[in-house]
């Protein structure tokens, strides 16, 4: 018995997530893996996965360490996986960064979904959206032809509006089971930063701010949780400043990350370009008061003097002053942490699942309506 067109969107929807794998840990890969895990055995959604970075065949494994060559060899394998993986699905949920990465992964996924006659959803996640769309006309071309654009923050929705692109917000999801909320009493000068050692996140500014904090609180500690291409530079800076109390922990697994927030008393961030960092939401969940610089996107997540303290980008003295302010006013730190913890409830799976389901069903409802006589 056939199902009427107007009921198609009520079937168990088949969604393929197209995203980086956890072979190279990053924000997109972590969110994709979390969605795949949380949708598993769901009565409404049947989820599959297509990696944008499939492993090379054994005979070509030697090229894995050569970035450009690795990409050239991997692209036709990726295309083949796309063609097969998008055959029996309803919606291609395509994770997207910017610039050349957009052309190499999301753009082909959108094209293959179109060729297969499937709905395409581009889940755009890069804080570089404005610059990307100004410099790459292909960005607007593809995005304007996708069936839906979803971003994790209102910031990106506003940026897309500048380019006459319509997007909706579905926030990042945080597995709150990893985090234990506790109030910091007493509040100690133990700081944590869980950002990677990349240019965007300015961990060097975190270190310089910590050096300023040490002038007032000599016993202060700083845990740097992560890895990345600039780690050697940050280690050299710590040595040059003759700083004690800095602990390089390396990259933390999902099962370990909660303990680093739990054992620290203040979360510190110095990014100059961002979108909706999960690290800040994790700090909210753990009750770790947030001190952060304020690139254009961050006020969409952190409200100054309500859920955290904001300071100008690149200003280590102002960042340090925010830390010192909290340490001298524990009542303020407690109020910020309590407000932020309530805010973290917006990023639970129960809330985010409902929003994704609404988006998916809305896409299929529109398709059914378009196919009605």
What CATH superfamily is the domain 176-346? Glycogen Phosphorylase B; (3.40.50.2000)
CATH number of 5-173+348-371: 3.40.50.2000
- Distance between CA atoms of residues 306 and 256, nearest Å: 28
Write down the pLDDT at residue 70.
Answer: 87
Going from N- to C-terminal start, the domains of the chain cover: 5-173+348-371, 176-346
191: nearest Cα among 249, 293, 265, 244: 265
Percentage of residues in the chain having pLDDT higher than 70:
95
Count of CB atoms situated within 10 Å of the CB of 59: 7
User: What local confidence, expressed as pLDDT, does residue 11 receive?
Assistant: 77
Q: 15 Cβ partners below 8 Å, 6+ apart? A: 39, 45, 46, 47, 48, 89, 90, 91, 92, 93, 360
Upper half-sphere CA count for residue 372 (Cβ side, 13 Å): 12
3-state SS assignment for residue 87: coil
**Confidence check: pLDDT of 159 > 90:** yes
Domains 5-173+348-371 and 176-346 share a fold: yes
Q: What gap in Å lies between CA 263 and CA 254, rounded to an integer? A: 16
- The 10s digit of each residue's pLDDT in 191-249 is 999 999 999 999 999 999 999 999 999 999 999 999 999 999 999 999 999 999 999 99
pLDDT score recorded for residue 217: 98
| C-alpha distance from residue 130 to each of 40, 104, 124, 133, 276 (Å) | 35, 19, 12, 5, 15
Alpha-carbon distance of 239 to 6, in angstroms, equals 66
User: What is the enclosing helix (H) or strand (E) of 50?
Assistant: strand 45-51
Q: Compute the residue count for the chain.
A: 373
């Amino acid at each position: 018995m056939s199902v009427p067109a107007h009921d198609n969107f009520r079937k168990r929807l088949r969604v393929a997530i197209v995203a980086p794998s956890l072979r190279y840990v990053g924000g997109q890969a972590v969110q994709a893996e979390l969605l795949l895990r949380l949708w598993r055995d769901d009565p409404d959604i049947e989820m599959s996965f297509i990696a944008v970075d499939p492993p090379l065949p054994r005979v070509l494994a030697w090229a894995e360490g050569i970035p450009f060559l690795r990409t050239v060899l991997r692209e036709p394998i990726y295309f083949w996986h796309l063609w097969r993986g998008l055959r029996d699905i309803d919606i291609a949920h395509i994770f997207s960064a910017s610039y050349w990465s957009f052309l190499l992964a999301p753009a082909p996924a959108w094209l293959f979904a179109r060729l297969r006659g499937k709905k395409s959803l581009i889940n755009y996640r890069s804080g570089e959206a404005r610059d990307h769309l100004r410099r790459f006309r292909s960005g607007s071309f593809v995005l304007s032809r996708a069936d839906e654009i979803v971003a994790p923050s209102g910031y990106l929705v506003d940026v897309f509006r500048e380019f006459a692109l319509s997007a909706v917000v579905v926030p990042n999801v945080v597995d709150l089971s990893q985090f234990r909320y506790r109030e910091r009493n007493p509040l100690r000068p133990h700081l944590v930063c869980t950002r990677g050692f990349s240019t965007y996140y300015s961990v060097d500014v975190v270190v310089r701010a910590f050096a300023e904090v040490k002038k007032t609180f000599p016993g202060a500690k700083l845990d740097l949780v992560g890895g990345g291409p600039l780690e050697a530079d940050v280690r050299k800076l710590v040595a040059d400043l003759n700083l004690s109390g800095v602990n390089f922990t390396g990259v933390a697994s999902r099962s370990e990350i909660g303990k680093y927030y739990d054992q620290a008393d203040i979360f510190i961030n110095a990014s100059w370009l961002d979108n909706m960092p999960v690290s800040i939401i994790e700090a909210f969940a753990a009750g770790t008061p947030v001190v952060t610089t304020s690139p254009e996107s961050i006020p969409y997540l952190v409200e100054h003097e309500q859920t955290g303290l904001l300071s100008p980008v690149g200003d280590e003295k102002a960042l340090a002053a925010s830390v010192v302010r909290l340490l001298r006013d524990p009542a303020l730190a407690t109020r910020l942490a309590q407000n932020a913890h309530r805010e973290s409830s917006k990023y639970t799976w129960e809330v985010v699942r409902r929003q994704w389901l609404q988006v998916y069903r809305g896409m299929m409802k529109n398709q059914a309506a378009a196919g009605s006589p």
